[in-house]
Amino acid sequence: MTTVRIPAGWPATEEQALAVQDELRGRVVLDEGGPPPGTGRVTGVDVAYDDERDVVVAAAVVLDAATLDVVAEATATGQVSFPYVPGLLAFREIPTVLAALDALPCDPGLVVCDGYGLAHPRRFGLAAHLGVLTGLPTIGVAKNPFTFTYDAPGAVRGSASPLLAGTEEVGRALRTRDGVKPVFVSVGHRVGLDNACAHTLALTPSYRLPETTRRADSLCRRALRTTTA
């Protein structure tokens, strides 16, 4: 497991973090379709916290996009790098997530975050932030709609409806299992929304959440237990 220190110059205040968001948001690429579903590699990233020790563990799990078999995995642990501020959660996680990605022995391909991309109050959630910093195509697949509204999609797997900030579509509510609560998909960087939804369906053959998220969640929780044993 890689051990991470908080980078020099990392934002320490809300004002500093907001300024970084403002600077980086303009670098998000929205005019690329992204890799075709079922091709190459796809990587899930997730984090787990030990709040008592102020420790965060990140996991990156690479899957073969066609078979969903695990190709590689890596973890990293570090100190939480920013206080809890809604809308700025990426600043708590990104140094450790970047370290986990850097520790992989292969190119991660498309990166799937357990969270948001453009579906964010400032249109710059973890998936967008991570994509800009790495240059990788990224999407966010979240468990809830955050502050946004949507009409329930049809009950059949693959049904979708816009996730809205007022009249602006910031993502989609996507049904990945018949009659089961949808997930909430948004683009991060270098991927279109239609393709992000197609990838999400390709990654959910059996469960509501993508295999990328399920595998990364399991790995980071196991790794966290070893740091506290």
Helix (H) or strand (E) holding 131: helix 126-134
Helix axes 126-134, 14-25, angle to 10 degrees: 60
Residue 179, token pair as written in the block: 């009659």
8 A C-beta contact, residue 196 and residue 187: yes
Question: How would DSSP label each residue in 190-201?
Answer: S--HHHHHHHHH
| Rounded-to-integer distance, Cα 148 and Cα 159, Å | 18
8 A C-beta contact, residue 87 and residue 134: no
Whether residue 46 is annotated as binding a ligand: the answer is yes
Residue 229, token pair as written in the block: 């044993």
| Rounded-to-integer distance, Cα 7 and Cα 4, Å | 8
| CA torsion, ordered 8, 13, 17, 18, to nearest 10 deg | -160
| Among 59, 17, 72, 90, CA closest to 227 | 59
Determine the 3-state secondary structure of 84 from DSSP. coil
Residue 150, token pair as written in the block: 């949507």
Whether residue 114 is annotated as binding a ligand: the answer is yes
Binding-site residues: 46, 114
Binding-site residues for Mg(2+): 46, 114
